[in-house]
Amino acid sequence: MPPFRVARCREESNMAKSDTRPKVTLACVECQNRNYITTKNRNTQRERIELRKFCPRCNVHRAHRETK
Ligand SMILES: [Zn+2]
């Protein structure tokens, strides 16, 4: 009898479209070299992630930012 059942069903079909653990590439912020590939949980990591990793091209530890 209540109409909210229909609305809930539509919401679930939208959820299924988005991948919750997409692959992201981490690139050095200085030389743009793509050194690492990881996955992130979109439920907890909505923003672009940035990690401090070793860059073989720069030969130092640098921040690596998510690229598409
Ligand atoms: Zn670099």
The CATH number covering residue 48 comes to 2.20.28.120
Domain count, the chain: 1
Q: 27 C-alpha vs ligand 1 centroid, how far in Å?
A: 8
Q: 11 C-alpha vs ligand 1 centroid, how far in Å?
A: 42
Q: Which of 59, 68, 55 is nearest to 29 (CA)?
A: 55
Q: What is the pLDDT of residue 35?
A: 97
Q: 14 C-alpha vs ligand 1 centroid, how far in Å?
A: 38
The whole-angstrom separation of Cα 58 and Cα 31 is 7
Residue ranges for the chain with pLDDT beneath 70:
1-20
Q: 60 C-alpha vs ligand 1 centroid, how far in Å?
A: 8
Q: 54 C-alpha vs ligand 1 centroid, how far in Å?
A: 8
Domain that holds residue 56: 4-67
